[in-house]
A and B are shown apart, each in its own frame.
Chain A
Amino acid sequence: MLRARPIDAPFALTHRHSNTEQIYCLNVQAARQGLQKGIGLGEARVLCPGLQTAEAEPGADARFRQVLARWAGQYCPWVGVEDDGLVLDITGAAHLHGGETPLLADMARRLARAGISHRAGLADTRGAAWAIARHGAQLAADATAKPHEAKAPRRTVAGPMGGSANSGGIALKAAPAQARKASPPPKTAPFSIIPPGEARHFLAPLPVAALRLPAASCIRLQRLGIRTVADLTSLPRPSLTRRFGAEVLLRLDQALGALPEPVSPLPPAAPFALRMTLPEPIGLLKDVSAGLERLLTRLCTRLEATGKGARRLVFTARRVDQASVQVEVRLARAMRDAPRIARLFERGLNEMDAGYGIDQIRLEAVELEALPLRQASSYKAAGPDDGLADIITKLGNRIGLENITRLLPADSHLPEKSFSVAPAAYSEAAHGWASPNLRPLIIFAPEAIAGHGSHPPQRFCWRRLWFRVAHIIGPERIAPEWWFDHPDWRSGVRDYWRVLTFEGRRLWLFFTPQHPGWFVAGEFA
């Protein structure tokens, strides 16, 4: 925010926390006036009457960290995002920039030029680097008794959306095996380096908060007079665990390198996304389709080169009023045929509201599937099959792809479990249906009818109609699968009868001998 509107006066960002305005972040001038993070806004105004404030935007902070993480990718591939900073694993990457100190100096120079205040720490372990980055400056300040020289200037800086972003610390981690220059960091530099193997010595005078402990644990430790890491390491371990739980020792071990703590890097950005920024806003359907077609052609070339096909595509149009509209297409089959995919987008584009015009379009293949190249002549079913996949896609985008189903055989002798309903887009048709027993055309949940004994009743009433039985065929006994518990089959074995009625209907009745009762379960052709 300060980048967009430089202020040379006490300035702070505020946020609402438990119904009061609190200071979220503040600049150096404000800190000199005695303000602190977390105090109430009213109190801050008393301490510093000239304080200027603005509302904080934590969302913009997170976005800004993502941007920084992408930027930091130039130093090493392992960049992770933490709550209030970045963490880089520069093992094996420092020599590319001429060593650790030049790397950090380069980083500091670039960040300063961008107007971003920061502090960096470099150590053998992630925990130690975190500690030295956030608390190392205080240490140096105490040691040299020159408070404002060693302390890295902290300024509130802006994310792209005008919110607040405070790059707290950049912790760097390096393997101990790496060759290092053991030069002490210059006092004015916004970074500190712990030489390999000296984490214990460097961390000892730091406060316990430097171990990334929760605030509650820190307060309890301080109440007991354990203020620094050195105090903590001198205590017997079993009693520490008993009193404070496992986390204190876990964090201590991680900081000292006794336990590993990897950096989980950000996932790589989607390579199957393209965008086009337009010099003039467009609004006509024809123009948008033309833009989409251009993006699709490029995307499909890229898909073909990698042997992949798109399963779900998202088309985003950004309008001039900064709103964006999305059209999503889920495909019934992996595809990379640009004209055909363009046709499937037609309906979505028709319904899109262009507002005052669209000035940027973006196309991303969100879901991918392997789709190897196929020789055209060896694949005979291509023609009609394609038409079917297209209509499944079209219908699926209207009623949901999972609502278009096909039936597949299932391994069970129970009539209602002998087939399964599978989404047509995610299954292959099964051939070779042949059953030794005649089955009804339509089955439904059993409907009770009145009847006695193990033989079908002569007359019965079903769905408010009376039927006279002319002919019965059966019984076919079907036993429940004892290895599964089907709630419908708790009544035990069933004797199925085919019943031909004088009224014409041919029904499937069953009798449950273990809990006597008659039911209608289906209807034959």
Chain B
Amino acid sequence: MPEILHSFFPPTPGRTHEAQGPGAAFFALMVCAVQPKPCLWMSEKWQAEQLDPWGIAPFFEPARLLFAHPKDHADTLASAEEALRSGAFGAVITRLSQPLTLFTGRRLLLAAQAGKGIGVFLIPEGAGSPSADTRWHCAPYFSSDDSTLHTWQLIKNKSGTLTTWVTRWDEQTRGIIVVSKAAERAGAARPPD
């Protein structure tokens, strides 16, 4: 039975989720875009990646986005826990440089449950933790008409099957729509180039 995207996206509040791959940042921004509360974007100080507010503006108001730059992994985890627990943020996006351990993953999950926000961790590929509710592999997908096609592949799911969707941002509905859910089913053969 093919799953529909909107039973998994936006991700369940009060849980933690993980995203990996070259389109992970876009996935996290879409999580921020589809809910109305302020969001926190956390990355360690040494990470040079810089979001451009003028590039974010077509998707949502950059004023809703706050940034935090802890100095190391331990501070990142502590700040993420506090931010998730406070409930002041609709989503807390955290870029991790090391995998979460069983213990830290569980603590962050409990914090997310207490604050009822969405916790999204941007992880290096293959560095997932067992506490995550869903894990996504995201990559931009070539389209000739200059749109924002992405393949979102659900590679871990605690409450359903694994599926792949090709999605894009829709200007009219201001949300994510599925372009063709049958385009790339997990495990299916790729169509010939």
Chain A residues proximal to chain B, CB less than 8 Å: 384, 387-388, 390-392, 394-395, 398-399, 403-407, 409, 415-416, 418-419, 421, 424, 429-431, 433-435, 438-445, 470-471, 473, 498, 500-506, 522, 524-525
Contact = CB atoms under 8 A, between A and B. Distances in A.
A406 B89 contact: no
A239 B38 CA distance: 74
Nearest 8 pairs between A and B by C-beta? A429-B63, A433-B57, A439-B54, A504-B140, A439-B55, A387-B88, A391-B86, A407-B53
A506 B150 CA distance: 11
A504 B142 contact: yes
A433 B87 contact: no
Contacts of A388: 38, 66, 88-89
A403 B54 CA distance: 21
16 contacts: A391-B82, A391-B88, A395-B83, A403-B45, A404-B66, A406-B66, A419-B52, A421-B67, A433-B57, A433-B61, A441-B26, A442-B49, A500-B144, A504-B142, A505-B22, A524-B55
B68 interface: yes
Interface in B34-89: 37-38, 45, 48-59, 61-71, 75, 78-79, 82-83, 86-89
Interface of B: 22, 25-26, 29, 37-38, 45, 48-59, 61-71, 75, 78-79, 82-83, 86-89, 139-144, 146, 148-149, 151, 169
A480 B38 CA distance: 35
B44 to A, nearest CB: 10
B148 A406 contact: no
Given A399-B69, A439-B52, A441-B51, A433 B142 contact: no
A405 B67 contact: yes
Nearest to B48: A444
A392 B38 CA distance: 12
Given A404-B69, A442-B49, A443-B55, 10 more contacts: A387-B87, A403-B69, A406-B63, A407-B53, A431-B61, A433-B54, A433-B57, A441-B52, A525-B55, A525-B148
Contacts of A403: 45, 68-71
A442 B55 contact: yes
Given A405-B67, A406-B65, A443 B52 contact: yes
B142 A440 contact: no
Nearest to A421: B67
A384 B88 contact: yes
A431 B64 CA distance: 9
A406 B66 CA distance: 5
Contacts of B26: 441, 525
A505 B133 CA distance: 27
B54 A418 contact: yes
Contact of A525 (B54, B65, B88, B169): B169
Nearest to B82: A394
A405 B69 contact: yes
A392 B89 CA distance: 11
B62 A391 contact: no
Contacts of B71: 399, 403
